[in-house]
Structure 1
Amino acid sequence: MAETHVLFVEDDDVIREATTLALERDGFKVTAVPEGLAGLAAFRERHPDLALLDVMVPGLDGVSLCRRIRDESMVPVIMLSARADAIDVVLGLEAGADDYVTKPFDGAVLTARIRAVLRRFSQASTAAADQAEAGVMSFGDVELDPDAMEVRRGGEPVALTPTEMRLLLEFSAAPGSVLSRDRLLERVWDYGWGGDTRVVDVHVQRLRAKIGQDRIETVRGFGYKLRG
């Protein structure tokens, strides 16, 4: 089996070298660069399986780099932030990141988060296959074809990231039912432990922007539900 290739963009020499060694010990192939423009060039040249981006890097900051990557690819992206600041977290997620990890971090925790992101990307097609027998599902002007992994709104194709697709598949498996943030973290983000529910909230916002603001209803104090 080919090694999973991680692009790691981090300007702190000590963190970059130590994290690279830790990831390589865990079986990853790592391309590590110290700034954003070099990161973008490496991404285009090396085609990594996952991008690990520090928020504050010179040349092209991590959030801007995430946007550039997302313009070209659906590859999973994890942001690294030196603080659990809401602005850093939300900006990274709104740029299209799938998850984030706060520094300082434990190497085992980082590896677990990377594997969780990769695992749910590989499971997106499995989740779709589980619903394929139902055929094309309609929710207002939104059509979801799990077999083809396609979404259309008003007949026009809608481009979803794999995380957004898994989120929509989770909602569509129980339309009209309220799904808690904790359940979505467990089912969509594969968290077997408590996670930051801001990840859920921002991805729901991104999904709403694509399929319609009124399609996913907030049930205050409980979670979200998909309206038919």
Structure 2
Amino acid sequence: MAETGILVVDDEKEIADLVEIYLVSDGYKVYKASSAADGLDILSKEKIHLVLLDIMMPGMDGLTMCRKIRETNNIPIIMLSAKSTDLDKIKGLGNGADDYVTKPFNPLELTARVKAQLRRYTQLNPQSTAENTGGEISLHGLTINRENHRVTVYGEEVKLTPIEFDILYLLASNPGRVFSTDEIFEQVWHEKVYEANNTVMVHIRRLRGKMKEDTRKNKIITTVWGVGYKIEK
């Protein structure tokens, strides 16, 4: 199997070196960049499967780089930042990140999050991916193919990140059922929710934007106010 490439973009050399040590020990091929410009250059030349991206950098910041990556690429992006407020997390997720880790962080927790994102991205367990519907769901103009991660809305292909895909697939594979934000978080991220956060809402908002929900009267994803989200049968 080809090596899994991870790009670490951080202008703090000590942090980048520390992350590299842990990732290399887990068998990943690590590329490092101290600026967004260098990171984008590496991304254009090498096979990268995941990006660890610092937000606060001189020149182009991490949020801008994240948006640029999302113009052409749906690989997982984990933001690294010393800012830990909900607003900062929402900004990171709203710009296209899949996860957000605050500094200082436990390297073992970071590598666990890397593994979780890569499992979602590479689909290392294809035997279980199509257990409900043979891999494809079609309803309300939406078609989702679990095996090739292809999504179309009224015939137009929609490019989704792994997190966005898993949220949409969860709702579509359980039509009519309302999922609270906590349920979505626990089933998609496979983590318990210990405090209120807006992570799911930010991803739903981004997902709706990509599906052009604002231009349609009949929405695919329905908000059940005070309860959660669903896709009708």
Matches for 1:181-200 after TM superposition, within 5 Å? 181-191=181-191, 194=194, 197-200=197-200
- TM-score of the pair, normalised by structure 2: 0.86
* Distance of aligned partners of 1:21 and 1:196 in 2 relative to their CA distance in 1, 3 Å threshold: farther
* 1:208 partnered with 2:208: yes
Deviations 1:39-65 (A, max 9, x none): 110111122111000011123211111
Counterparts of 2:204 and 2:8, CA distance in 1: 27
User: Which stretch has the larger CA shift, 93-102 or 154-163?
Assistant: 154-163
* Distance of aligned partners of 1:198 and 1:123 in 2 relative to their CA distance in 1, 3 Å threshold: farther
Aligned to 1:137: 138
Structure 2 residue aligned with 1:227, among 207, 217, 232? 232
* Distance of aligned partners of 1:23 and 1:146 in 2 relative to their CA distance in 1, 3 Å threshold: closer
How far did residue 84 of structure 1 move? 1.1
Counterparts of 2:75 and 2:135, CA distance in 1: 28
How far did residue 116 of structure 1 move? 0.7
Supply the RMSD in Å over aligned alpha carbons: 2.4
* Distance of aligned partners of 1:6 and 1:147 in 2 relative to their CA distance in 1, 3 Å threshold: closer
Counterparts of 2:187 and 2:108, CA distance in 1: 21
How far did residue 186 of structure 1 move? 2.5
Instruction: State whether residues 9 and 35 of structure 1, in contact with CA within 8 Å, keep that contact through their aligned partners in structure 2.
Output: yes
Counterparts of 1:200 and 1:107, CA distance in 2: 24
User: Which stretch has the larger CA shift, 18-27 or 112-121?
Assistant: 18-27
Structure 1 residue matching 2:41: 3-state secondary structure: helix
Matches for 1:1-228 after TM superposition, within 5 Å? 1-123=1-123, 126=126, 128-133=129-134, 135-139=136-140, 141-146=141-146, 149-191=149-191, 194=194, 197-211=197-211, 212-213=213-214, 214-228=219-233
Relative to its length, the structure with more helix (as a share) is 1
* Distance of aligned partners of 1:47 and 1:5 in 2 relative to their CA distance in 1, 3 Å threshold: same
How far did residue 136 of structure 1 move? 4.3
- Residue identity (%): 39
Consecutive unaligned residues in structure 1, runs of 5 or more = none
User: Which stretch has the larger CA shift, 75-84 or 19-28?
Assistant: 19-28
User: Which stretch has the larger CA shift, 142-151 or 91-100?
Assistant: 142-151
- The residue type equivalent to 1:18 in the other structure is L
How far did residue 217 of structure 1 move? 2.5
- TM-score of the pair, normalised by structure 1: 0.87
Counterparts of 1:191 and 1:177, CA distance in 2: 21
Counterparts of 2:125 and 2:205, CA distance in 1: 23
Counterparts of 1:61 and 1:53, CA distance in 2: 9
Q: How many residues align?
A: 227
- The residue type equivalent to 1:117 in the other structure is Q
Counterparts of 1:50 and 1:134, CA distance in 2: 25
Consecutive unaligned residues in structure 2, runs of 5 or more = none
